[in-house]
Each structure stands twice: as C-alpha cells, then as structure tokens.
Amino acid sequence: MAQHQAQPLHFSGSGSEYFRLWIVNVCLSIATLGIYSAWAKVRRNQYFYRHTRLAGAGFDYHGDPKAILKGRLVAFALFAAYTAASSFAPTAAAFILILIVTLAPWLLVRSLRFRLHNTSYRGLRFAFRGRIGPAYLVFLLWPLLAGLSLGLLWPFAQQRMAAYTRNNSAYGGAEFRFSAGAGAYYGIYLMTLMLGVVLFAGLMVLTSVLGSNGWFAVEEGQLTAMSLLLAALGTYLGLLLFAYPYVTARLQNLVWGSTTLGGHRFVANLSAYQLLGLMLSNVVLVVLTLGLYKPFADIRLARYRIEHLQVLVEGSMDDFVAGLQAGASAAGDEMAEMFDFDIAL
C-alpha cells in the first residue's frame, strides 16, 4: 500500500463579499424578468468554485449562460404547464407529469454532463460519461420501486444513484470509482431508526417517572397513554429536526470515503451535530432578516462542507500533479457541449 498524504480543501469565500455579488444578481434577475438568472448562476458558481482551493490551486466553472437559460426555459415551461393543468385539468396534468417523469433521467444525464464538463481544476476538465440506458434504471426504475416498497428500497436506490454518477465521472484522464455497497446505506438509515427508538424509550421512561411523581397533571390509569403520547411527539419532533442533518452528514462521509480517483482517496468528516447547529441557525437568521442572511448562510454551509473534505493523495504532491493529464476523448465532450443544456437541480 502506497503512502497517502492528506490534502485538505480550503474555502476562502466571505459572506460580505458574496453578499454584494448576490444582491446584484438578484436585482438584475428581477430587472430582466429572470433572464439574467442564468448569468447569475454562472457568476455564483464561479465564485464558489474559484474560492474552493486544493493544494494551492482553485477550481473553476465554465458553464455557458445561454445553455443554462435554455434549460431553465424548458424546466419553467414544463413546471408551469403542470401547475396550471393540475388545478384545472387533471388528465392533462397527469399526461404532463408522465412526460416529465419519462424525460427526467435523460435531463439528469444531460445536466450532469454539463456540470462536470464545465468544472475544471488546474486547467483540466471533469467529465461525465454515463449512458442514457442505465440512467433510466437508476433515476427512474429504482426510485419508483423504492416508492412502491414504501421506502424500504430507498437506501438501495440511493446507492445505485451514487454508484452510477461516481463511476461514470472522470477528472482529466483519471476515472472516479465508487465502492460503497447498499449495506452501508441501510446502516445509516437503520442507525437513524435506532436513534428514534432510543429517543422514544428514553422519553417514555422520563415521562413515566415525572408523571408518577406528579410533575404534570394526569388522571389515574392514564399515565401510560399520556407518556406514550408525549414520547411519540418528542421522538417525532426530534427526528424531524435531527434526521436530515444526521443523514446528510453520514451520507456525505460515506460517499466520499468510498470514492477513489486513480490511487487517490477522499475523506469527509462532517458531524451531524455541527451540521444541525449550522442549518438551524441559518434558517432562523434567514427568516429573521427577511431573507437577507441567505448569502451568508450559503457561504457558511459551503465552508463547512468543503473544509471537512480531504483528498488523500497517493505518493508526493508532485507525483499527484504530474499524473494528472487531459482525457483522451475530448471530442466526445465537445459533442456533448453542443447539445447540452443545464437544468436547475
């Protein structure tokens, strides 16, 4: 096994600087009835990408705003048609929904290709080479089955999606590989479930003890029912609040920990507690400031996510850099660019 050297990612963006970019973006987007929003997206992505630095070099974004505008118009048209139809013409709405669902995997592949092709690091582009056929399995069939199985297959579907997107991604001439199995995904959701059970049991004991000691008024013989109710309510609220950041943090750690690029590996070490605190304070501040805190919140979240990711470089940094070459099939990527459009995801 070769020596691995940890290279952390840094994020140098600042809230006050991004705020100006953001407010100008919002203002121009409103003034141009949304058309500028495509250019705004490019500016925003460039801001976040260029401030993300690894081993002394930044990332960059090269998306063509016109392609993004095209994608947004298509998405907007589909969505508007569906919303209009769903209130007044259910049959037409069902038809549009079927159309959207059938198109979705194709659109997803297109936008993945667009996004990766337009991301660069040290002058080399990323690429996505996933084929359309498997995308229908991954983005349509498995999620559909997951829904039909009442979510039991959802971790499996999620694993298929991550494997498909990562295994078909490349940076320069090197390809990403993904090794996590569905078991690890089930582990995360089972753990969440366990937390729920432990929380419920704890609350049950607590309310029973408090109730029998007369801490809250309860009728004779109603104590168990009352404790059940309170514990269920507490568990529901606790999971509602905690499950999302917990699953997000654990999934990101799992996905990066199972990804390799050639001989290089990745480590993410997000903490669910910190993520919860971050998200909660962000939401509260955004609401309190009538939305003006949003750019600061975006920066905080990006910084947390990026700075808790490391690349484990195989060998020395010089070897790492020297081993990174442009991919062979650049022509295929150019074809992709011509017909591509990005859809807001």
Partner 1 sequence: MRLAAVYYDGRNAKAHPVTLCLEGDKLLLQGKEIVRRDAISALEIQPPLGSTPRVVLFADGARCEVADNRGFAELFPGADSRVAVLENSWRWSGLALLLVLALAGAGYLWGLPYAAQRLAQRIPAELAASLDREVLADLDGKVFQTSRLSPDRRRGLEARVAELVLPDPAGRPGAIEFRFSAELGPNAFALPGGTVVVLDALVELAEDDQEIVAVLLHEMGHVAGRHALRQMLQASAVGLAMAWYIGDFSNMLAAAPALMLEARYSRDFERDADRFAAEALQANAIPPGRLADMLLKLETARQRGLDAKLGAGSDYLSSHPTSEERIQRLRSQ
* Residue from 6, 24, 232, 335 binding partner 1 (CB under 8 A): 24
Q: Is 305 in the site for partner 1 (CB under 8 A)?
A: no
Q: Is 82 in the site for partner 1 (CB under 8 A)?
A: no
Q: Is 275 in the site for partner 1 (CB under 8 A)?
A: no
CB of residue 340 to partner 1, shortest distance in Å: 18
What is d(CA 30, CA 300) in angstroms, rounded to the nearest whole number?
25
Q: Is 114 in the site for partner 1 (CB under 8 A)?
A: no
Closer to partner 1 by Cβ: residue 206 or 247: 247
Q: Is 264 in the site for partner 1 (CB under 8 A)?
A: no
Closer to partner 1 by Cβ: residue 89 or 191: 89
280 close to 272: Cβ distance less than 8 angstroms: no
For 256-288, letters b (16+ CB in 10 Å) and e give bebbbbbbbbbbbebbbeebbebbeebeeebee
Element (H, E) at 191: helix 182-212
Q: Is 43 in the site for partner 1 (CB under 8 A)?
A: yes
Q: Is 136 in the site for partner 1 (CB under 8 A)?
A: no
Strands 169-171 and 124-128, how do they pair?
A: antiparallel
211 close to 227: Cβ distance less than 8 angstroms: yes
Window 182-211: residues binding partner 1 (CB under 8 A) = none
Q: Taking contact as CB under 8 A, which single stretch among the options 136-144, 151-159, 251-259, 318-326 is the one that binds partner 1?
A: 318-326
Element (H, E) at 77: helix 65-88
Q: Taking contact as CB under 8 A, which single stretch among the options 68-76, 105-113, 136-144, 322-330 is the one that binds partner 1?
A: 322-330
Q: Is 94 in the site for partner 1 (CB under 8 A)?
A: no
* Residue from 4, 70, 122, 177 binding partner 1 (CB under 8 A): 122
Task: List Cβ neighbours of 229 (8 Å cut-off, separation of 6 or more).
Answer: none
With both helix axes pointing from N to C terminus, report the angle between 272-288 and 223-257 in degrees, rounded to the nearest 10.
100
Q: Is 17 in the site for partner 1 (CB under 8 A)?
A: yes
Q: Is 287 in the site for partner 1 (CB under 8 A)?
A: yes
How many positions of this chain bind partner 1 (CB under 8 A)? 49
* Residue from 4, 60, 252, 337 binding partner 1 (CB under 8 A): 60
The values of phi and psi at residue 15, to 5°, are: -60, -45
Residue 216, helix vs strand vs coil: coil
The DSSP output letter for 179 is -
Q: Taking contact as CB under 8 A, which single stretch among the options 128-136, 159-167, 225-233, 316-324 is the one that binds partner 1?
A: 316-324
Structure tokens at 57: 């070099």
314 close to 320: Cβ distance less than 8 angstroms: yes
* Residue from 96, 172, 231, 333 binding partner 1 (CB under 8 A): 172
What is d(CA 36, CA 29) in angstroms, rounded to the nearest whole number?
5
Q: Taking contact as CB under 8 A, which single stretch among the options 84-92, 150-158, 176-184, 221-229 is the one that binds partner 1?
A: 84-92
Residue entry with tokens 């995997």: 105
Q: Is 27 in the site for partner 1 (CB under 8 A)?
A: yes
Task: List Cβ neighbours of 69 (8 Å cut-off, separation of 6 or more).
Answer: 35, 38
Tell me how many degrees the CA angle 78-81-87 measures, rounded to the nearest 5. Answer: 135
Residues that bind partner 1 (CB under 8 A): 12-14, 17-21, 23-24, 26-28, 30-31, 39, 43, 46-47, 50-51, 56-58, 60, 87-89, 120-124, 172, 240, 244-245, 279, 283, 286-287, 291-292, 294, 321-322, 324-326
